[in-house]
Chain A
Amino acid sequence: EPEVTQTPSHQVTQMGQEVILRCVPISNHLYFYWYRQILGQKVEFLVSFYNNEISEKSEIFDDQFSVERPDGSNFTLKIRSTKLEDSAMYFCASSEDYRLETQYFGPGTRLLVL
């Protein structure tokens, strides 16, 4: 069964450093998403991406964040200058369509900013 994959599974970084989180969505899916979950809190939407453009972003997704689809398979989330409060689990998800279709989640990257 096709699945979303994410690398790395864990990332530890120093405050102020740049991190890139990588995702490979399900191959026939067209819509891609990043969510995050701070420990003990809700899963929160960050950004959606379609046709090589950001479709929607939340207020969390400020200028420190960017997304890219550098090739036909990868989808990345970059945090330019990490802050302590960026420590969270980051989930990539994909769907065939955004309207009724289910979003399938990857296993997540646990980011710890020291």
Chain B
Amino acid sequence: QKEVEQNSGPLSVPEGAIASLNCTYSDRGSQSFFWYRQYSGKSPELIMFIYSNGDKEDGRFTAQLNKASQYVSLLIRDSQPSDSATYLCAALIQGAQKLVFGQGTRLTINP
């Protein structure tokens, strides 16, 4: 069973601080990883994808991938109250046409 694991939280971060979200995956063959943001009752909204080891930055967001440790993370700098949401980590399973999602981490940014 190919799994993606996330700490469900809640993770509470003060406004302006860095929020750090983590994810591990079991399928060593997975090549691509995605971070989606999901507001309550809404659909997943893509934030970033990463498929190379190392860091990838996009504005206030940085995704990090370590394939040796099977670990993916998302850093949100200068956190805003509007960043309060559930963050979903997903892995594209090698050779398969599907995403496997973690259970999501609920993030709250406190003003």
Known A43-B88, A56-B98: A102·B43 in contact at CB below 8 Å: no
**Chain A contacts of B100 at CB under 8 A?**
45
Q: Are B88 and A33 in contact (CB under 8 A)?
A: no
Q: Are B99 and A45 in contact (CB under 8 A)?
A: yes
- Closest A residue to B45 by beta carbon equals A105
| Size category of the binding interface on chain B | 20 to 34
Q: Are A91 and B44 in contact (CB under 8 A)?
A: yes
Q: Which residues, 4 to 44 on B, are CB-close (under 8 Å) to A?
A: 31-32, 34, 36, 41-44
Q: Within 8 Å of chain B (Cβ to Cβ): is A103?
A: yes
Measured CB to CB, the closest approach of chain B to A111, in angstroms, equals 14
Question: Residues on A close to B: CB < 8 A?
Answer: 31, 33, 35, 41-45, 48, 50, 55-56, 58, 89, 91, 98-100, 102-108, 110
